[in-house]
């Protein structure tokens, strides 16, 4: 190999190493920002902890292989031309074949060893929650062993430190249920029932999402997960099983408008004649973290916007618009729904 060729090749290798260094720095900066309520690298559940550990093992293994291969490339371009002895052959075989094979074998064994723990069902007697993915929201039904089921929508509350069994279904298309901070994702397939175990390890509010494209508002199909202390969770579940409280004033007028405009044909509000099952249960909608599957703030303005023009907020939604109602009626409806805590 001539000096000019060697010099040009070395410049190419140097440029490649410099580019890789920049990529590594950029990845480090990106990882530094991988936090918050929807981060798989900031785990708050047993399943997420196992997945994060597997990620770091894979990242470390990838770094080892990268260093071995790049080191060989640097060595190949820096050595002088001429015959090479047994030591060079061993170096090439070791760095180019043995090291990658051993590292990938260790990663495979580690990943397979983690799978049973990720797929194990919750212990017998654990709380069960049935979650149905719909276009484009989440129907959530708590199935306590000693009381009637409790239904809500677009929000899941969990007791910290206790395993919970999720029963996942879909009546329309394939969805994928994912709470990155607490557990791995699980597909929801029409005609099949899948299961996922959640075991949160710390309290807080986290965010989940549909991880499988399911239609035009797939990106607007989120939900919140609130992890509470066990006593707080027990009190919350008790309150969720109660009927809606009586309304007065502007909220009472909103209740009448809700029933008069046929909203009860799609929605249930326990304690009222509204008993529809097409849309979300609204008995305690005022106590939820957000509206519209995680896209609107739970406040009167959010209710008015959703009631008046749901199609503009979430394209493809099945709920009809009620923007033709007078502003006073929309305000009354929002006031009643906000009081349903």
In tens, the pLDDT along 137-167 reads: 999 999 998 888 999 999 999 999 999 999 9
Q: What is the dihedral of CA 297, 299, 305, 306, to 10 degrees?
A: 70
In tens, the pLDDT along 321-330 reads: 999 999 999 9
Domains 127-228 and 250-339 equal at CATH topology level: yes
Give the full edge-to-edge strand order of the sheet including 164-169: 150-153, 137-143, 127-134, 164-169, 194-198
Amino acid 271: pLDDT: 92
Residue 4 has pLDDT above 70, yes or no: no
In tens, the pLDDT along 168-197 reads: 999 999 999 999 999 999 999 999 999 999
Q: How confident is the model at residue 16 (pLDDT cuts 50, 70, 90)?
A: low
Assess contact for 274 and 267: CB atoms under 8 A.
yes
Rounded Cα–Cα distance for residues 212 and 302 (Å)? 27
Assess contact for 170 and 189: CB atoms under 8 A.
yes
Burial grade of 294 (CB within 10 A; 0-12, 13-18, 19 or more): buried
Neighbouring-strand partners of residue 152: 140
Chain position carrying tokens 């009586």: 246
- The CATH superfamily holding the domain 127-228 is Cupredoxins -  blue copper proteins (2.60.40.420)
Rounded Cα–Cα distance for residues 106 and 99 (Å)? 11
Amino acid 74: pLDDT: 78
Amino acid 113: pLDDT: 87
Token pair listed for 68: 């071995």
Average pLDDT over residues 120-147: 93
In tens, the pLDDT along 82-97 reads: 665 666 677 777 777 8
Q: Which CATH class is domain 250-339?
A: mainly beta
Share of the chain above pLDDT 90, in %: 66
Rounded Cα–Cα distance for residues 37 and 227 (Å)? 12
β-strands 296-297, 290-291 pairing: antiparallel
β-strands 155-159, 204-210 pairing: unpaired
Ranges of each domain in the chain: 3-119, 127-228, 250-339
Chain position carrying tokens 């430190």: 161
Complete DSSP assignment for 231-274: HHHHHHHHHHTSPPPP--THHHHHHHHHHHTTGGGT-B-TTSS-
Amino acid 158: pLDDT: 97
Neighbours of 118 (CB within 10 A): 16
Q: How confident is the model at residue 37 (pLDDT cuts 50, 70, 90)?
A: confident
Assess contact for 293 and 314: CB atoms under 8 A.
yes
Residue 7 has pLDDT above 60, yes or no: no
- Mean pLDDT over each residue of the chain, to the nearest integer: 87
Amino acid 26: pLDDT: 58
């Amino acid at each position: 190999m001539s000096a000019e060729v060697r010099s040009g090749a070395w410049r190419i290798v140097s440029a490649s190493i410099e580019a890789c260094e920049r990529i590594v720095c950029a990845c480090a900066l990106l990882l530094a920002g991988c936090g918050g309520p929807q981060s798989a690298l900031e785990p708050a559940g047993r399943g997420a902890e196992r997945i994060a550990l597997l990620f770091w093992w894979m990242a470390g293994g990838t770094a080892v292989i990268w260093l071995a291969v790049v080191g060989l490339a640097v060595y190949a371009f820096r050595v002088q031309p001429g015959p090479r002895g047994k030591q060079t052959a061993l170096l090439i075989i070791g760095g180019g074949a043995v090291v990658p094979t051993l590292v990938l074998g260790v990663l495979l064994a580690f990943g397979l060893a983690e799978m049973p723990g990720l797929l194990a069902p919750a212990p017998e007697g654990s709380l069960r929650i049935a979650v149905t993915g719909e276009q484009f929201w989440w129907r959530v039904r708590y199935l306590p062993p000693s009381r009637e089921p409790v239904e809500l929508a677009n929000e899941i509350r969990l007791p910290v430190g206790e395993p919970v069994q999720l029963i996942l279904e879909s009546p329309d298309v394939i969805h994928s249920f994912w709470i990155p901070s607490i557990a791995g994702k699980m597909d929801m397939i029409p005609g099949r029932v899948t299961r996922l175990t959640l075991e949160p390890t710390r309290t807080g509010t986290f965010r989940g999402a549909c991880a499988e494209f399911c239609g035009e508002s797939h990106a607007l199909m989120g939900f919140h997960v609130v992890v509470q202390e066990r006593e707080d969770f027990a009190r919350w579940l008790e309150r969720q099983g109660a009927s809606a409280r009586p309304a007065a004033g502007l909220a009472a007028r909103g209740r009448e408008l809700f029933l008069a405009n046929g909203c009860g044909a799609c929605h249930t509000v326990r304690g009222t004649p509204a008993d529809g099952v097409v849309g979300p249960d609204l008995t305690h909608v005022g106590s939820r973290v957000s509206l519209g599957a995680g896209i609107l703030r739970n406040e009167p303005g959010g209710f008015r916007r959703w009631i008046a023009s749901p199609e503009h907020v979430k394209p493809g939604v099945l709920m009809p618009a009620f923007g033709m109602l007078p502003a006073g009626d929309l305000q009354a409806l929002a006031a009643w729904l906000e009081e349903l805590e």
